[in-house]
Amino acid sequence: MTKPLLDQTTTVEIINPTFRTVVENGSLQKLPAYLSQEQLTNRAFVITDTKVGPLYGRAVSQTLLDAGIKTTVLTMKAGEQHKTLAQAGNLVDQLSDAKATRKDVIIALGGGVVGDLGGFVASIYNRGVPLVHIPTTLLAMVDSSVGGKTGVDHGGKNKTGSFYQPKLVIADPTVLVTLGPRVYTEAFGEIAKYAILDADFLTELETAADRLRSYSTDNLDILGKIIARCVKQKSNVIATDPREQAPDGRILLNYGHTLGHGLEAAGDYTELLHGEAVAIGMTFAAQLALQLGLAGEEFITRQTRLLEALGLPTRYTGKASIVDVMKHIEKDKKNTKTNSIRFVLPRTAGQLTVEQIESSVVNRAVSDFVVAQ
Ligand X SMILES: NC(=O)c1ccc[n+]([C@@H]2O[C@H](COP(=O)([O-])OP(=O)(O)OC[C@H]3O[C@@H](n4cnc5c(N)ncnc54)[C@H](O)[C@@H]3O)[C@@H](O)[C@H]2O)c1
CA angle (313, 316, 318) in 5-degree steps: 115
* 360 burial level (CB within 10 Å; 0-12, 13-18, 19+): exposed
Query: Comparing C-alpha atoms, which of 283, 310, 303 is closest to residue 209?
Result: 310
**Rama region for 328: left / alpha / beta (φ>0; ψ in -120 to 50; rest):** alpha
Q: In whole angstroms, what is the distance from residue 199 CA to residue 201 CA?
A: 5
In the window 22-51, what residues touch ligand X (CB under 6 A)? 49, 51
Give me the catalytic one of 167, 261, 264, 328. Answer: 261
CA angle (366, 319, 51) in 5-degree steps: 110
Check if 257 is active-site: yes
Name which position in 32, 57, 110, 260 contacts ligand X (CB under 6 A).
Answer: 110
Check if 328 is active-site: no
Given the complex with ligand X, which of 32 and 111 has the nearer CB atom? 111
The site that binds ligand X (CB under 6 A) totals a number of residues, namely 28
Q: For the CB of residue 252, give the shortest distance to ligand X in the complex, in Å.
A: 15
Q: For the CB of residue 158, give the shortest distance to ligand X in the complex, in Å.
A: 5
Q: In whole angstroms, what is the distance from residue 190 CA to residue 328 CA?
A: 21
Q: For the CB of residue 296, give the shortest distance to ligand X in the complex, in Å.
A: 30
Check if 250 is active-site: yes
What does the per-residue mask of binding to ligand X show for 150-179, with x meaning CB under 6 A?
Answer: --------x----------------xx-xx
**H helix or E strand, kind and range, residue 43:** strand 43-49
Q: In whole angstroms, what is the distance from residue 263 CA to residue 259 CA?
A: 6
Given the complex with ligand X, which of 158 and 348 has the nearer CB atom? 158
Check if 80 is active-site: no
Name which position in 78, 292, 309, 322 contacts ligand X (CB under 6 A).
Answer: 78
Given the complex with ligand X, which of 32 and 119 has the nearer CB atom? 119
Query: Comparing C-alpha atoms, which of 182, 225, 213 is closest to residue 7?
Result: 225
Q: Determine if 276 is a binding residue for ligand X (CB under 6 A).
A: no
Give me the catalytic one of 20, 274, 276, 328. Answer: 274
Stretch that binds ligand X, among 39-47, 73-81, 289-297, 314-322 (CB under 6 A): 73-81
CB atoms within 10 A of CB 296: 15
| DSSP tag of 48 | E
CB 168 within 8 A of CB 34: yes
Q: Determine if 193 is a binding residue for ligand X (CB under 6 A).
A: no
Name which position in 34, 74, 75, 111 contacts ligand X (CB under 6 A).
Answer: 111
CB 10 within 8 A of CB 231: yes
Residues with Cβ within 8 Å of residue 7, at least 6 apart in sequence: 24
Euclidean distance between the first and final Cα of the chain, in Å? 52
Q: For the CB of residue 253, give the shortest distance to ligand X in the complex, in Å.
A: 9
Evaluated on CA atoms 268, 270, 271, 274, the torsion sign reads positive
Given the complex with ligand X, which of 90 and 158 has the nearer CB atom? 158
Residues with Cβ within 8 Å of residue 219, at least 6 apart in sequence: 211, 212
What does the per-residue mask of binding to ligand X show for 80-99, with x meaning CB under 6 A?
Answer: x--x----------------
What does the per-residue mask of binding to ligand X show for 120-149, with x meaning CB under 6 A?
Answer: ----------------xx-xx--xx--x-x
Name which position in 5, 98, 183, 222 contacts ligand X (CB under 6 A).
Answer: 183
CB 243 within 8 A of CB 163: yes
Task: State the catalytic residues.
Answer: 127, 149, 190, 234, 244, 250, 254, 257, 261, 274
Give contact residues for ligand X (rule: CB under 6 A). Answer: 49, 51-52, 55, 78-80, 83, 110-114, 116, 136-137, 139-140, 143-144, 147, 149, 158, 175-176, 178-179, 183
